[in-house]
Amino acid sequence: MSTDVTAVRGPFVSFTGDPFLTSREDAFVYESDGLLICENGMITACGAYSALRDALPPGVTPAHYPGHVITAGFIDTHIHYVQTGIIAAFGSQLIDWLNHYTFVEEQRFSDPRYARRIASAFCDELLRNGTTTALTFCAVYPASVDALFEEASARHLRIVAGKVLMDRNAPDPLLDTAESGYADSKELLERWHGKGRNLYAITPRFAPTSTPAQLEAAGALRREHPEALMHTHVSENTGEISWVRSLFPERAGYLDVYDHYGLLGPGAVLAHGVHLTGRERGRCADTGTAIAHCPTSNLFLGSGLFHLHDAKDPHRPIHVGLGTDIGAGTSFSLLATMNEAYKVAELSNYPLDSLKAFYLATLGGAQALGLDDRIGSLTPGHEADFVVLDPRATPLLDQRTARVDDIDELLFVLAVMGDDRTVRATYVNGALAHDRDAAASAATG
């Protein structure tokens, strides 16, 4: 049997633990001249070049990226592929924004050809930004799910996605029923979950657009398929929270709606959580429910500031990843998202250093998805998804990074100033999937 071998040399950073909860030494590994060897899409060795160079198979020459930074591929824990077309739609509060832009755009995904076109552009944009795994909403239409998984499969991306469940409080063309939503989701789950690198997420949009009957059906599907993930929104906006309270007066709060229907637990990812109470955060920690922190979206819609220091309280820590939340989010770049996460943390009197920011975008995201046994770090036995960052991508970045004193400062500058231009190369499943310079040459040639 033939073996596909990829080798990459350069400075490596990777995480072995949570820097919010443990020491730098126990959480972070830096190798100034490292070698990564991959076979058949899996990392087989990672360490100092001097120690591993003799392990290179005959005839294999590493791709060499001196002066760069190589890290595990970025993980986006909350995004809407079906909102790619409405990024930068003039902002208003959440519910108005949904009605004016989102629900109008998502109806276009009833056309499978449109769904495939946007899915293709979406996957290419992920790769340009160094994102190798994404947890994403699709539209209510099953064909929108098929289109995304097909396009992702062609690029070997790891995508977690699901058909949105909505049986009330949305335009009629976007509504399913408790019964049809369950049946469609079950069929899609059985068709796609575990096929290649695809994973399925049971996806009620949020509590206001699902009846109790639909949430009950979603909980039943989760019990029947505990291997699937669960993805929804929670406590993004104060008006939304009041709406939930009026729709579910018998429940103790927004989070309790999902808890009541069996939708919390490992593999459940709740987007935003800006206004979770202390008790609700404790319940997330107790159940292993994760939060996707989406700072660009929260700022764009004026939803509020997510208190990362409360979520990572060492006495009751929650798994937290970063989400771009396209299209209310304003960039596909997880580097740009780190920049906004830093600012939000500063406004909460909680300085977010570079190691914590990069952790959230890599191993932290993997832990939030329950996939840290296979992605999120440059660990032998893990899938070979990684990104090569260029500290000299722009003249200003080159000038600034020339002055850094250590890897921590370099990572901080990349997190604050970086964007898609900083991504020199993206490797997926051990193969080069995006090369910035080659793409630029092709565009101009």
Q: Look up the CATH number of the domain holding residue 345.
A: 3.20.20.140
Final residue of a structural domain among 330, 347, 369: 369
Tokens of 329: 């989010």
Domain check: are 82 and 203 in the same one?
Answer: yes
Kindly give, in sequence order, each residue whose CB lies less than 8 Å from that of residue 142, ignoring residues fewer than 6 positions away: 163, 184, 187, 188
pLDDT bucket at 440, cuts 50 / 70 / 90 = confident
Cβ neighbors of 36 (< 8 A, separation 6 or more) are: 7, 8, 9, 12, 43, 45, 46, 70, 378, 384, 386
Q: How many domains does the chain have?
A: 2
How far apart are the C-alpha atoms of 334 and 266, rounded to whole Å?
A: 24
**Beta strand extents in 253-376 (DSSP E only):** 268-272, 290-293, 320-322
**Matching residue, tokens 């633990």:** 17
At residue 17, φ and ψ (nearest 5 deg) are: -165, -175
Q: Tell me the pLDDT tens digit for each residue of 193-242.
A: 999 999 999 999 999 999 999 999 999 999 999 999 999 999 999 999 99
Domain boundary among 341, 369, 397: 369
Same domain, 122 and 30: no
Quote the pTM value. 0.97
Question: Is the pLDDT reported for residue 91 higher than 80?
Answer: no
pLDDT of the residue at 272: 98
Helix (H) or strand (E) holding 187, with range, is helix 178-192
pLDDT at 2 over 70: no
92: confidence class by pLDDT, cuts 50, 70, 90? confident
Q: What is the pLDDT of residues 181-193, one digit of tens each?
A: 999 999 999 999 9
pLDDT recorded at residue 98: 87
Is 114 found in the same domain as 157? yes
The pLDDT, as a whole number, for residue 226 is 97
Q: pLDDT: is 157 or 443 the higher one? A: 157
Q: What residues make up the domain containing 109?
A: 74-369
Question: Domain ends where: 369, 392, 426?
Answer: 369
Residues 410-425 have a mean pLDDT of 98
What is the token pair recorded at 368? 């939030």
